[in-house]
Amino acid sequence: MPIMTEQTHPITDKTWSGRFSEPVSDLVKRYTASVFFDNRMWQQDIRGSLAHAHMLSQQGIITTDDLAAIERGMTLIRQEIDSNQFQWNLDDEDVHLNIEKRLTALIGDAGKRLHTGRSRNDQVATDIRLWLRDIIDDIDGLLRALQKSLLTLAESHSETPLPGFTHLQVAQPVTFGHHLLAYFEMFQRDRERFTDCRRRVNRLPLGAAALAGTTFPISRETVAQELGFEGICENSLDAVSDRDFAIEFCASASLVMTHISRLSEELVLWMSPRVGFIDLPDRFCTGSSIMPQKKNPDVPELARGKTGRVYGHLMALLTLMKAQPLAYNKDNQEDKEPLFDTADTLIDTLRIFADMIPGIRVKSEAMAAALRQGYATATDLADYLVKKGLPFRDAHEAVARAVRTCESRSCDLEALTLDELRSFSPLVDVDVFEVLTIAGSLAARNHRGGTSPAQVRAAIARAQATLMQ
């Protein structure tokens, strides 16, 4: 008779129960189980299991009848899960055992033969990689959608002047389109990082078994080919214990969230009535419970907060792995929840921002007014003097004195007369007033990467071509 627990669970219900003389406590079962979060990988688990079964049959390790039964059983399990009929069981610990137990219940001993030549260690590593590969593909599509949204808005404002800031002080004129293209570049680098990460994710661990490989004549290459992996993990110890790919994913996600957070910070500042550069669509904002005039930029604010959440998951995974000896340890189970939450957070954030960006209403008058507050064309005046033959350091000093004069009069550089400007340098001539306009400042920066409207339009065209590749 099987030994029974206080909860009437027989020890023999466990796949490893033959070694033990007493049952696992209910608290430990709850503490160690992963089924209620790793069951989201059920599709990947079935895909991996079927590929493994096909290989076992091809290699003569299981019979064709066993394979047919396994395929039939997995079809039924898919249907049960899709229709919410499948009963996930805490006692079976994880997604793999739950599916295997149900398979065995449906088809008998053939279900037990499925585990030949593999371990849960290499199985879970395979599931995670399959799942993460799909997620990276989804994220790339969402990043592209966000980039398209930025380009749409940038194209509408390729000539709209905006103060460029350093230290939050007005520095030089740029166009709003040029400003948005800076974020396009950030997200393009993010896409490149995920593409690179995907290459390292796309290696098959299955066949490493628990840590040393298997005595059965398996063909790992066959499984890799069926599952679309670019290659196999070369070392069995590393294959089951490696979580570098998860850390790398979270690092790439953290950088995306960094860029989202930077954009969010600007959206919050720009929307403030003290700045008043933009207005966000109402569906992305909330009001105040007490102040009826308020319209709060909740989405970008929360995105800043969720950035810290993703950073925390990256640190959790780094900490998880930093002291683990080879090979697999139960610690490794703690990789999934941070990884899942990182993916969920990033995907939701990208979807929202791709939808929000095209709805931004730009207040170009406020942007133009801000340019009149900070002597934005001072550098243009210095460059003008340099082109007339004055050394830059002397030109810098002359323009600094001109700005000081304007500050005392509460006027802009454009308001100074020709004679007043000549008092700072005799090299000044009547053509200086073409330089001191915002339009002139923008048009003068007519080189690749510059902020002239012509270059912004050219950059948008190049960016659109990049997205078509």
Cite the active site residues: 167, 288
d(CA 314, CA 250): 5
Picking from 53, 37, 387, 44, the residue whose alpha carbon sits closest to that of residue 222 is 53
Structure tokens of 97? 């055992």
Q: Would the CA dihedral through 155, 157, 159, 164 be positive or negative? A: negative
CA distance 262 to 256: 10
Q: Give residues with Cβ within 8 angstroms of 431, minimum separation 6.
A: none
Find residue 164's DSSP bridge partners. 172
Contact (Cβ atoms closer than 8 angstroms) between residue 249 and residue 140 = no
Neighbouring C-beta atoms of residue 146, cutoff 10 Å:
27
Bridge partner residues of 296 (DSSP): 286
